[in-house]
Amino acid sequence: MNTLVLLGAALIPMVMGFIWYNPAVLGKAWMNAAGMTEEKMKGANMAVIFGLSFVFAIMLSFILHPIVIHQLAVKSIFFYEPESPDLAEFLAKYGDHFRTFKHGALHGTVAGLFIALPVLGTNALFERKNFKYIAINAGYWAVTMALMGGVICQFG
């Protein structure tokens, strides 16, 4: 596991959030859908918000790692025999298969749609938020997790 790659991938939500939620992109639509006002936004402790957001993004990058890199599942089969010649032979033959940005982005997108969307959607339904709110937030996470998965799979 390359920790620097995972930390780098954890920066992606920050960059994507700056773009996605920018008033010129989807920021105004999100504010309307979320019931957010300029006054509410000014009263926040941004250091805490960005600090915790980065911690959460690190957690996300660590869990995306085994989702986007299939070789980790193979290694877990040999947990009690990590020096097995069978594992070494398998990794020598297939170790770099499916280690591309494209493949990681695919799995990141799937994780965004099948993990983030149901969680966000469920919360939004109980919070009585509309479809636009769900679409903006789930879309952000699907794209963000696609990029994170691509970086992790290609370079991790």
What are 109-149's pLDDT values in tens digits? 999 999 999 999 999 999 999 999 999 999 999 999 999 99
Predicted local confidence at residue 84, as pLDDT: 72
Predicted local confidence at residue 75, as pLDDT: 66
Token digits for 126? 């109980």
Predicted local confidence at residue 105, as pLDDT: 98
Q: Given CA atoms 84, 85, 86, 90 in this order, what sign does their dihedral have?
A: positive
Give the separation between CA 42 and CA 51, rounded to whole angstroms: 17
Q: Which long-range contacts (CB under 8 A, 24 or more apart) does 2-6 make?
A: 2/155, 2/156, 5/151, 5/152, 5/155, 5/156, 6/58, 6/61, 6/62, 6/65, 6/152, 6/156
Predicted local confidence at residue 86, as pLDDT: 77
Predicted local confidence at residue 82, as pLDDT: 66
Identify residue 147 by its one-letter amino acid code.
L
Q: What is the pLDDT of residues 52-105, one digit of tens each?
A: 999 999 999 999 999 998 777 776 777 667 677 777 787 778 777 788 999 999
